A = this chain, B = another copy of it.
Amino acid sequence: MSDTPAPVPPALAPGSTVGILGGGQLGRMLSQAASRLGFDVVILDPEENSPAGRVSRGQIVAAYDDPTALNVFGRVCDVVTFEFENVPARSVELLAEAGARVAPGPRALAVAQDRILEKTFLNEAGAPTVEFAMVDDLASLETALQVIPLPALLKTRREGYDGKGQVWIKTLIQAADAWAAIGERPAVLEARALFVRELSIICARGWDGKTAVYPLGWNTHKGGVLKTTVAPAEVEPKTERRARAIARAVLEQLDYVGVLGIELFDLGDGRLLVNEIAPRVHNTGHWTQDGCVCDQFEQHIRAITGWPLGPTAAHAHVEMTNLLGDEIDQWQKLAGKSDMRLHLYGKGEARPGRKMAHVNRVRPL
């Protein structure tokens, strides 16, 4: 590209303020990592006393698109980041106008917020995805079903996570029901990936363009929600190389700053397809807290504050398990296991399916 590269901003000194939009468990663990490096942290979240707010210097209690709140937030923070990808574009503009460095930037958020943009970007970046087709109405869904082999997965273009906002179409006569089931919203129809397992790779890039990539994790899901990550995953060297090349291409072509998670389908023949990218710290990277010297949370804080990236090698083998809803009631049993590291999120109500905590079972490599 002929654009002049943006100047590399100087590293933020300890005592600077890091802002995090979103006060859930990811914001909480980011806040803890930032504190360890001597930063002050302020959270913006509509829920009072959010999990992240309770471990931070302060919290602004406001909606994510509240212009006044964003102006104050952008002025008190030296850098602002996000714990989720569905940040309104206008909010990012307001933060930048208020004087905060913002990372990751608007392009990464725009790409990750829209499944059509995301898949188009990935394929152009040389990171293949499943076949897909754009769906805007029932007619275009029927056209798409001529191209994408059945069974196919209909997903809303925007929002939806942990298996929400998506429905499988197994026969053509299910098209109208599926269209109704996703709320008749703009969508993408995806071919089924014939994968043998799901992998993910957590990677980071700084303002200076340097990158850092963690070993692969092997993920299992239950009811559409991540259940376990085992890392470092046992993979062929060529699979590892391929995943790292995808990670570097995505980071560079998004001109990305921060930690990014990439979910991959391992087709079992050396090929990898990208399922989706998350422009943030990622549940499948929680194993790094007890498997690496510098975990994904500290890595993200280092990247966005302009600090040198930390090392990514694993020093232990980790099996991460999410505790959902009342599984948190096992805390006492788990606390007694000497190879088990507990990470609780400080959430009050253990609603069914709610992510309450995770545990890392650690053993020597």
Enumerate chain A interface residues (CB-CB to B < 8 A): 11, 13-15, 28, 31-32, 35-40, 49, 54-57, 290, 293, 302, 307-308, 310-311, 315-316, 328, 331-332, 335-336, 338-339, 341-346, 348, 357, 362, 364
Q: Are B293 and A307 in contact (CB under 8 A)?
A: no
Ordered by A's residue number, 7 sampled pairs between the chains whose C-beta atoms are within 8 Å are A31-B55, A35-B55, A35-B346, A37-B335, A49-B57, A55-B57, A315-B364
> Contact: A14 with B302, CB < 8 Å?
no
Specify which chain B residues have a CB less than 8 angstroms from the CB of A290 in the assembled complex.
293
What is the distance, in angstroms, from A354's C-beta to the closest C-beta of chain B?
Answer: 13
Known: A35-B346, A293-B362. A328 touches B14 (CB 8 A): yes
**Nearest 3 pairs of A and B residues by beta carbon:** A38-B344, A308-B336, A311-B338
A338 to B294, CA, bound (A): 9
State in angstroms the CA–CA spacing of A357 and B35 once bound together.
12
Q: Shortest beta-carbon distance, A173 to chain B, in Å? A: 49
Chain B minimum-CB-distance residue to A348? B15
Q: How many copies does the complex hold?
A: 2
Please tell me if the beta carbons of A335 and B357 are within 8 angstroms of each other in the complex. no
Asked if B38 contacts A346 (CB within 8 A), the reply is: yes
Bound CA–CA A32/B54 (angstroms): 11
Of B11, B28, B35, the residue contacting A54 (CB under 8 A) is B35
Indicate if the CB atoms of B28 and A32 lie closer than 8 Å. Answer: no
Residues of chain B within 8 A of A57, CB atoms compared: 49, 54-55
Contact in complex: A36, B343 (CB < 8 Å): yes
CA distance A49 to B58 in the complex (A): 10
Complex Cα spacing A37 to B323, Å:
13
Question: A316–B332 Cα gap in the complex (Å)?
Answer: 28
Chain B residues whose CB sits within 8 angstroms of the CB of A302 once the complex forms: 335
Contact A344 B307 (CB under 8 A): no
**From B36, B293, B344, B348, contact of A32 by CB (8 A):** B36
Q: Is the CB–CB distance between B38 and A55 below 8 Å?
A: no
**Nearest B residue to A32, CB-CB:** B32
Given A37-B335, A39-B346, 13 further pairs, Cβ under 8 A:
A13-B331, A14-B328, A28-B35, A36-B342, A38-B331, A38-B342, A54-B57, A55-B56, A55-B57, A293-B362, A311-B338, A311-B339, A315-B316
The residue that A15 contacts in the complex, of B31, B38, B343, B346, with Cβ under 8 A, is B346
Q: Could you tell me the distance between the alpha carbons of A315 and B364 in the complex, rounded to whole angstroms?
A: 9
Question: Closest B-chain residue to A14, C-beta based?
Answer: B344
For A293, the chain B residues whose CB sits under 8 A away are 290, 338-339, 341, 362
Please give the distance in Å from A362's CB to the nearest CB on chain B.
Answer: 6
> Which chain B positions have C-beta within 8 A of A13?
331
Contacts of A345 in B (CB 8 A): 38
